[in-house]
Amino acid sequence: MLKLGNSLTAERDKKHITLYKNGGLLKRVDIRQATTRRLFIVELVNDLGVSKDDVADALAISRQTVYNTLDTYEHFGVDGLLHSEKRGTGNPALRDTNSDANPVSGITASVTRMVKPHCR
């Protein structure tokens, strides 16, 4: 049993985490799905006041994952958590805030303009 503060405890197996408050069942969450896990992280920290370190320990994930999830939620809301993809960078300055943008196509377009066909 993991103590999460605020009279919360949790039990975890490979598929689920069971959350208790004052010894009574509060919630059972299937943590195999990334989206469900991300939403649960936000709920634990923002709604239930669990520390980020305790969330990381309870879910057996890195603290950085917790911080990244909360950062995504702060910038993009629930929609960002539902449609989150691995962005390849933790640097916010390098992230494109336009979710429809495809950074590879932008690079390809730039390279295409730079390369001129060989004329004889």
**Average pLDDT estimate for 30-54:** 92
Q: Residue 96 corresponds to which tokens in the numbers above?
A: 């494109």
Domain limits, the chain: 2-88
DSSP E strand stretches across the chain? 2-5, 8-12, 16-21, 24-30
DSSP state of 45: I
pLDDT given at position 87: 53
pTM for the structure as a whole: 0.67
Residues 57-82, mean pLDDT to the nearest whole number: 91
78 vs 82: CA distance, rounded Å: 6
Residue 93 pLDDT: 52
